[in-house]
Amino acid sequence: MARTPSASATLRRGLPAVGAALSVVVIFVAVLSIPLSAASELGLSAGETVGWIVAVYGLAGVLSILLVLRYRQPLLLTGNVFLLIFIASLGVQLSWPELVGAVMVAGALVLVAGPLGMTDWLAGWLPAPIVYGLLAGAVLPFFVDLFAALGDAPLVVGATLVAYLVGRVALGPRLPAILPALVVALLVAGLAGRFGAAPTEMVWPAPVFTAPVFSLPAIVTATPVMVVLITLQANVPSVVFLRAQGYRPPEQTLAAVSGAGTLLGSVLGPTGISLSLPATALCAGPDAGDAAVRHWSVATAAGASVLIAVLAGLAAKVAAIVPTSLLAAIVGLAVVDVLARALQEVARGPLLLGPMFAFAIALSDLSLFGLGSFFWALALGLMVSLLLERDQLSALRAEATDGTPPAK
């Protein structure tokens, strides 16, 4: 007769999954600084900020829990952090309703991408290295702002930076270094009296729905990048990782949920609902314990994500209390790995000139015919590769279609 595992044995079996979930939750808390900082820069109302946080955290968490209940696999959907950073960098070019409209169109395209073969088309005609070049250019200013903040608040930001560097050395891959950085930042800012006064009225604003504006310049400038970030940067590599761990993820369902979640959730604020390769690697990798219980990590992390959404009203008030230099420091440190990964993808080739042009143009203030620098980064970057890197581009397309390693 088979023995039923004791409660203590079940707990021990699930501890690695819970530990992996805690790492993801730390990332969730750190990433919260991105929409908060962007909301301040964009001049969003408290209700719009709350709605955006609910869309980024609440919807993704609920959908993840439903997927876990249905498939018993570590399928963690998140508000795509690359897309959040991209949206924040677009704030000077596009209005908030235009951003909402552009993301909704991206969600609709992701929804139909699988049945129409759009992902393969994008992989062939919008090479990932050029997108990574654009992404590196979009992210770099946030990293640079970290050091501008260091000049404005050397004590707080300096201590935060030191804690981050020490954390990377001491903690290694076990916990994200942003955790000690965040703790030290809050502690030093509190001791230095850098926090603003707490609001006297604690009534939390209700989420505000935003009517989308479907502007052609906004759609042409932003939507293709958003589709690539959701599909090629997030969903596709995450599915590949899950397969390597022995899972059989429901690809069509994931694409449908990702697209529909992005389309419908963006009325609360522009967000891309997708798998996340870093979070998937934490929740579905060997460090999360036995393969049969790794989905517990997703259930735990998704529950925390929903809790953040429930407390969105409190989170929205943080921007009025926390000094902007501290927010800039945390955002700058949060994008370090994003920037490093994008630069690494560009450097490994086989395309170099096209991504380099995309990188430089994304950093510029170029605007022609009503289209911003990010559109021209893609268009001119692709044109440069078509003219000067045809052989490498062909090799990259061959790799995307049949797995042939590209020539260096």
Delimit the domains of the chain by residue range. 16-340
**Per-residue pLDDT tens for 99-136?**
999 999 999 999 987 777 665 565 557 777 887 888 78
Residue 368 carries which DSSP code? B
Tokens 């460090």 — which residue?
287
Reduced to 3 states (helix: H, G, I; strand: E, B; else coil), residue 199 is coil
pLDDT at residue 2 in the model:
47
Count Cβ atoms below 10 Å from residue 256 Cβ, excluding itself: 17
Residue at 386: amino acid letter: L
Contact 130, 355 (CB under 8 A): yes
Contact 92, 305 (CB under 8 A): no
**Per-residue pLDDT tens for 145-194?**
889 989 888 998 899 999 999 988 887 665 667 778 888 888 988 888 77
Contacting residues for 318 by C-beta, under 8 A, at least 6 apart: 36
Contact 216, 275 (CB under 8 A): no
Res 248 pLDDT > 80 = yes
Res 61 pLDDT > 50 = yes
**Per-residue pLDDT tens for 7-33?**
555 556 667 777 677 667 767 877 787
Residue 73 carries which DSSP code? S
Tokens 């579905």 — which residue?
284
Query: What's the pTM value of the predicted model, to 2 decimals?
Result: 0.68
